[in-house]
Structure formats: C-alpha cells, structure tokens
Chains A and B, each alone.
Chain A
Amino acid sequence: MPESLKFEKSFDVEGGSFQNAGNVSGQIKSILKDMGVSTDIVRRVAIVCYESEINIVSYAKKGRITLAVTDEAVKIETKDEGPGIPDIELAMKEGYSTATAAVREMGFGAGMGLANMKKYSDHLIITSEVGVGTCVQMTVMNFQKLLHPDLPPVTL
C-alpha cells in the first residue's frame, strides 16, 4: 500500500439495477464526509461517482467501483463488464448517447454523463475494449492540501 493511501474500498454494482442506482455513490459520499474531506471535493466526487455508477447500471452486466483516498486526492476507478465504447472521443461529446428509450424516460441518457465526469474531475482516463468492458479512472485533487502542505491530513 503506498504510504499516502489513507483509505481504499471497492463496491460492486449490478447492471440494470436502477432501484439501487446511487447507493454506492451515497456510501462513498458518507465515507468522505466522515473522513473530514472538504465539502467541495465531496460534492465533485459525488457527481463523477454517480455518473459512473449510472453508466454501469445503464449499460453493463456488472461493475466495480473503487474509492481510494490520499492526502492529495480522491480517486474513483470503475471497471465494468459491458459492451465497451467503440469511439471514446465521440462518446465524450456532450449530447451524444446510446441509451435506450427506457433509460432516457427516467431522465438519464442525455449525453451528459461523461462530460460531467470530465468537468468535475481533475484527471480522467477512459480505456475500453468492445465486447469486454470499460475502465474509468477519475481523480479529484485536494488542492488545498497541495497548496498548504502543513494542513492536517484527513483522519479516519
């Protein structure tokens, strides 16, 4: 375990399970709040985590979301067993979506998910293989800590 890693936990997400969509993001938000992570970082992590959770629920058979917290950043990594993204550049365009009509009726699938993930994270890496799945790594930096290294670290 790297020295600065304060916390790490993985959560399973079931594809198609809209009744549980958001539960993992809620748990992650609670963990970060309990750790004393600043409100702005918790807010941004909640947005990017929720979008990635909805993507797993909307498109994949199943997936796993891993939360890692260091003094400098909160990292969210998702890996899913889904259809994969053939053209990531196209998928990143706001408004582009391959969501089904049923998913759109619920107010998802507006083509804002990946755009939100990019906007609210400081670093985003998407790798995908068609027919296998997609991996998304998002980092939300704790700039306060980077600017003021003498600040106390987050506590568990």
Chain B
Amino acid sequence: MQLETLVRELNLKVSCAEGSLKREVKGGYVGDLLSDVMANSKEGDIWITRQVHQNIVAVASLKDIAGIILIQGSEPAHDTAAKANAEGIPILVTDLPAFEIVGLIYKLIKP
C-alpha cells in the first residue's frame, strides 16, 4: 500500500517530506528504542514512535523505512523536521495512541 493511501485512510497529518508519499509500505514496526528499531525494522516498514528528536531521521534513512508516524499528536522537533525534509523522510502525525493506530494500520495492510 502506498504511504499516501495510509495518510488518507487514517487521516494522518503530513508534517514533513510531503513529496515522498509515493513510497510503498510493506509492513510496520513500533518502538522508541533506537537500537531496537535499527536491528529489527525492515525496509519499507512504517515506523510508529513517540520519539521526536532528529536521530529518528538517521535511523529511518539507514533502514530505508517508508515513513515515521508520531503518536498522540507529537510534533517533530524543529531540527528533526528540517532533516526529514532534506532527506525526504515523511513524518506523519496521528492524535491516536500507538495501540490504536497500529491496529488500524494492521487492518489496512494485512487484511
């Protein structure tokens, strides 16, 4: 499923890299520990986290992650947004908590 479909279906706010929403979402990973995400996420995953600092962009870029969803209305830090726009890593925002957004994503991409 394309990232832009996920954005539309789940009413996600596009916070960064609006031009990179054609990416294919193949799966997902949830985590706030960067070493965990670094080790266990896969290429094309959508990453759900509450971390908002700029190191999430480096991890997403290194692991070829399709995009990052920040939960509970968290906005990316200023330097995070700048880096994500520069590197074309989409950052999306949901008002929902992780459990609920993951449930909705799971239903959409693994029906």
Give chain A's interface residues, CB within 8 Å of chain B.
18-19, 21-23, 25-26, 29, 43, 46-47, 50-51, 54, 106-108, 110, 112-113, 116, 119-120
Contact = CB atoms under 8 A, between A and B. Distances in A.
A110 B58 contact: no
A50 B54 contact: no
Interface of B: 32-36, 38-39, 43, 49, 51, 53-55, 57-59, 61-63, 79
For the residues of A in contact with B, the DSSP-based class is: helix
A26 B57 CA distance: 11
A50 B58 contact: yes
Contact of B39 (A18, A29, A120): A120
Give me the 5 closest cross-chain CB pairs, A-B, nearest first.
A22-B58, A112-B35, A107-B34, A110-B33, A46-B62
Nearest to A113: B35
A151 to B, nearest CB: 23
A109 B35 CA distance: 8
Given A106-B34, A107-B51, A120-B39, 9 more contacts: A21-B58, A22-B55, A22-B57, A22-B61, A26-B61, A26-B62, A46-B62, A54-B35, A112-B36
B53 A50 contact: no
A107 B79 contact: no
A44 B74 CA distance: 31
A120 B59 CA distance: 16
Contacts of B55: 18, 21-22, 106-108
B62 A29 contact: yes
Nearest to B62: A46
Given A19-B54, A19-B79, A110 B59 contact: no
27 contacts: A18-B55, A19-B54, A22-B58, A22-B59, A22-B61, A22-B62, A25-B62, A26-B58, A26-B61, A29-B62, A46-B62, A47-B38, A47-B62, A50-B58, A51-B35, A106-B34, A106-B53, A106-B55, A107-B32, A107-B33, A107-B34, A107-B49, A107-B51, A107-B55, A108-B34, A108-B55, A110-B33
Contacts of A21: 55, 58
Nearest to B49: A107
Contacts of A116: 35, 38-39
Nearest to B51: A107
Given A106-B53, A110-B33, A23 B58 contact: yes
Contacts of A50: 38, 58-59, 62
